[in-house]
Every structure is written in C-alpha cells, then in structure tokens.
Amino acid sequence: MSDTQARTIGLGGAFSIVVGSMLGIGIFLSPPEMARAVSSPAVFLAIWAAAGLIVLGGAVAYAELGARMPRAGGDYVFLRAAFGPSVAFAAGWTLFVGIFGGSIAAVALALCQYQIPALTGWDLTGVVVTLPAVGDVTLAQLVASGIVVALTGLNALGVRPAAWTQELTTLLPLAVLFVLSLIALGLWTAGSAPSGPPAAPLPLTLDGVVTAYMAAYFAYSGWNAVIYVAGEVTEPGRNIPRSLVGGTLSVTGLYVLMCLGFVAVLGMGGLASIGEAGSEMAGVLSGEGARWAMNGLVLLCLVASLNGTVLGGGRVGYAMGLDGVLVQRAGRLSPRTGTPSFALWLQGLWAVLLVVSNRFDVLLQTVSLAMVVVGSLTVACVFVLRRREGPPTGWAAWGYPWLPGLYLASSAGVVGVKIHGVVVDDASPAPLLGLAVVLLTFLAHRLARTRSRMAAS
C-alpha cells in the first residue's frame, strides 16, 4: 500500500477550493451586521477592503509555506517544522476536532435549518424523530447528518470527484454573483435602480469599527483551504501560491463589488434592517423569482464551503496519523482510491455526532480564539523558517515582512478584543477556556516527550 499521495488537483481545482471555502454564508450575513455598527458607506466599504488586504497578508505567508512544504496537513505540518511537535500536536487536535468538525456540523445544519426551507417551504426543524440511544432529533439534524455522510463518501471515492464538485459548486455562484453585482451597479449609475433609505447617522466609534471588522473577518474565512491538500496539488510551487493569492484577491474584489451593490440598491438603512443581504437585493431588483434563485445560489455556496471543509479536514487527520498522534490507520491511504478514507470517515462520524447532539455551536465558540492563535502562529512560521533556513528558493511572500506582519498585528487585535469582551463586557468565557485547553494540551505533550527522552537516556 502506497502512502504517497497522487498530485491530481490542478490550478482550477485549487482555485475553486480557496474560493468555494470563502464563499459561504458570511458575505450575505455580515453586511447587515456591519451596517448596524457603522452608518457611513465609505467606512463600510473601506473596512471590507482593509479586511481583504489583511487576509492577503496571511495568504502570501501560507503560499510561501505551501510552496516550501507541499504536503498534506497545512498548519500542522508548518507548525511542526517551525515550532516542533508539541505545538503541532496541540494545533492539530484543535483543527481536527474543533475547527473542521465543528464547521462541518455548523454548515450542514445551516443548509437544513435555513436554506432548504427557504427554497422549498419545508420546515425541517418542526419534525421530531425519536432514535434509540439518542433521543429526540429534528428532521433537519437527520438530513444534515445525511449530507455530511454523502460528502464524506464523495471525498472518500477520490480527490477527482471531490475537486470536480468543488469547481461546479464554486464557479457558477462566483459568476452569477459577479454579474448580479454589475447589474445592480449599472442600474444605480443609470439612475434606474431602486434606492434604499440612508441609515440614521451613527457616531464613528472604535467599538463600531471593531464590530464591523470582526464581521468582515468572519466572511473571509476559508482563504487558506488549499494548503491542507497541498500534497495533491500539481506543480505545487506554482499552483499553491497562484490559487491562494489569486483566490483571495478574486473574493476580495467580488466582496467589495457586492457590497457596493448592496449599498446602491438597499441603502445603509435598508441593509441595517435586514438579516440576509443577497436574496433581499435580488428580490428588490427582479422580484420573488430572483429572491428564490438567490436562495438556491446561497445553498450552492454552502455546499462548496462544506465540501472544501470535508476535503481539507481529512488531510489534517491524515498528517496526524502519519506522525502517530492520531490513530495510525488515519495515516494510511486507501489502496483503491488513494484518499485518506479512514481519516475522512473519522472526521465525518465526529461531525455527525456534533450535529445530532446539537453542541457544535458551543465547540466552535470554545475554539474560536484558538483558531485565530493557530493561524497567527502559522504565519509566524515564515519568519522563523527564514531566520533559521534563509529565504525560500521558490515562491516568496509578497511584501515580506510588512504584509505578513500586518496579518499578525490584526490577529493580535482580534485576540485583544476577544479577551476584552470576556474581562470587561461579561462575554462568554468559552474562548478563553478553549485557549487554556489548547495550552494544556501543548504542555502535556511537551512533558510526555521530555519524560520519554529522559527514560531513553
């Protein structure tokens, strides 16, 4: 049995993994939340552009790391190389159990609780089924579990069908959203677009700007998705940087364009009064049929995001299995399909348990701060490896050290805001508890390794 992954994901597939993982529900939910925090269209759009620039700082750092170490596992592999196995162990478990498992459960349930009912009119949460040894679960939870199983099965069949699905569910929404935004702006500049109400003026405060930035930051999540499948990307020294940087720039441009359309058609006041911006803009422009079609497009975006998450998370488990820090079978490839099928099904089972228990939200909240810290440590790997090994011989991060440094400074600000919220504003302490658990995991692994070395000597 070969444990060497075949490189079958081309530039198009890698680009679709990045874009599809970013194009989730965030761009439709975050603009209304931001409009309630800042009333100035100029500030609103500037925050979107600034968040895109900051994310680009992370993308160029990950691109250099992915070109330098094009292997499955992403953050886990980079952190092990720069900071050692104990940091990688703590980060790997956070990624596999918390971030990927929780995200898969959350997106699958969002599909079944919101998007499928919006398209069909069926309330899947209103039907309750009693299962042996489980208890009462809603039909939404059962359908969400089925979606997780189906996409896990698709990914276990081979990387080609998973990549094709990613391209199909990504490129269509990308094109339609781009055209719709252009139509909205074209009608607005021609003076024939409906004009939404202006927002009641709000004082521009640091709290408002931070709230708006955090919402935009959430919408950009997923920009690093391709590095988890780096071991299967063709010409990784070229295609990983191209997909990461190109995908991030494409989504940033699309997001700014869409937000221009939201402001032009809905107005800041209208935007602040709704919950989801995409279907509302489509409905205002073209009626209920367009609103329904937009809900279908959002569903496709969620499927792409979910498929990309399943694809990437399984590779983290695979890398950990290779190192013996997860069950060893997780580090083996299927002799028939060449995929880390055991790691994928292990991840799928965990996600289904989270869906059925309905505790994914608590888990995601708990690991939210740890997720920011893990990403920051990974970007810091560029600085560590350059100092230790010198500049890379292949692709190098643009704007080093300033652009990656901007990402690190922003992440430090996000961590500070989270801590301030717990200490001063009585927010949930779960993120700090999650970070403490990750730190304890690191210390326990470090202590175990120290004792093992002492016993061996």
Q: In 133-224, where do the E strands start and end?
A: 135-138
Range 11-456 has CATH code 1.20.1740.10: yes
Q: Which of 16-25, 113-122, 198-207, 288-297 has the lowest mean pLDDT?
A: 198-207
Would you place residue 188 in the very low, low, confident or very high pLDDT band (cuts 50, 70, 90)? Answer: low
Would you place residue 131 in the very low, low, confident or very high pLDDT band (cuts 50, 70, 90)? Answer: confident
Helix axes 430-456, 402-423, angle to 10 degrees: 120
The pLDDT assigned to 282 comes to 87
Q: Which of 10-24, 222-236, 423-437 has the lowest mean pLDDT?
A: 423-437
CB 268 within 8 A of CB 44: yes
Amino acid at position 126, single letter? G
Average pLDDT over residues 227-255: 97
- What gap in Å lies between CA 422 and CA 436, rounded to an integer? 14
Nearest to 20 by CA among 5, 6, 4, 9: 9
What DSSP character marks residue 96? Answer: I
CB 243 within 8 A of CB 17: yes
Q: What is the pTM of this model?
A: 0.92
End-to-end CA distance of the chain: 35
Would you place residue 319 in the very low, low, confident or very high pLDDT band (cuts 50, 70, 90)? Answer: very high
The answer, yes or no, to whether residue 325 has pLDDT greater than 70, is yes
The pLDDT assigned to 414 comes to 87
Indicate the Cα dihedral angle 113, 114, 119, 120, nearest 10°: 30
The pLDDT assigned to 183 comes to 82
User: Mean pLDDT in the chain?
Assistant: 90
The pLDDT assigned to 440 comes to 93
Residue 339's beta-bridge partner residues? Answer: none
CB 313 within 8 A of CB 106: no
As a whole-number percent, the residues of the chain with pLDDT over 70 amount to: 96
The pLDDT assigned to 191 comes to 61
Phi, psi of 129, rounded to the nearest 5 degrees: -120, 140
Q: How far is CA 32 from CA 19, 28, 40, 252, in A?
A: 22, 8, 13, 18
The pLDDT assigned to 66 comes to 97
Residue carrying the six token digits 């931001």 = 34
The answer, yes or no, to whether residue 41 has pLDDT greater than 50, is yes
The answer, yes or no, to whether residue 58 has pLDDT greater than 90, is yes
Average pLDDT over residues 261-279: 89
Structure tokens at 10: 């081309």
Q: Which of 56-70, 237-251, 418-432 has the lowest mean pLDDT?
A: 418-432
Average pLDDT over residues 282-291: 84
- What gap in Å lies between CA 19 and CA 2, rounded to an integer? 31
Structure tokens at 274: 């709704």
The pLDDT assigned to 84 comes to 96
The pLDDT assigned to 381 comes to 98
Would you place residue 186 in the very low, low, confident or very high pLDDT band (cuts 50, 70, 90)? Answer: confident
SS3 9: strand
The pLDDT assigned to 2 comes to 47
Residue carrying the six token digits 């075949």 = 6
Average pLDDT over residues 37-48: 94
| Largest Cα–Cα separation, the chain | 80
Q: What is the 3-state secondary structure (H, E, C) of 188-242?
A: HHCCCCCCCCCCCCCCCCHHHHHHHHHHHHHHCCCCCHHHHHHHHECCHHHHHHH
- Determine the length of the chain: 457
As a whole-number percent, the residues of the chain with pLDDT over 90 amount to: 63
Nearest to 17 by CA among 219, 181, 239: 239
The answer, yes or no, to whether residue 332 has pLDDT greater than 80, is yes
Count CB-CB contacts under 10 A for residue 306.
27
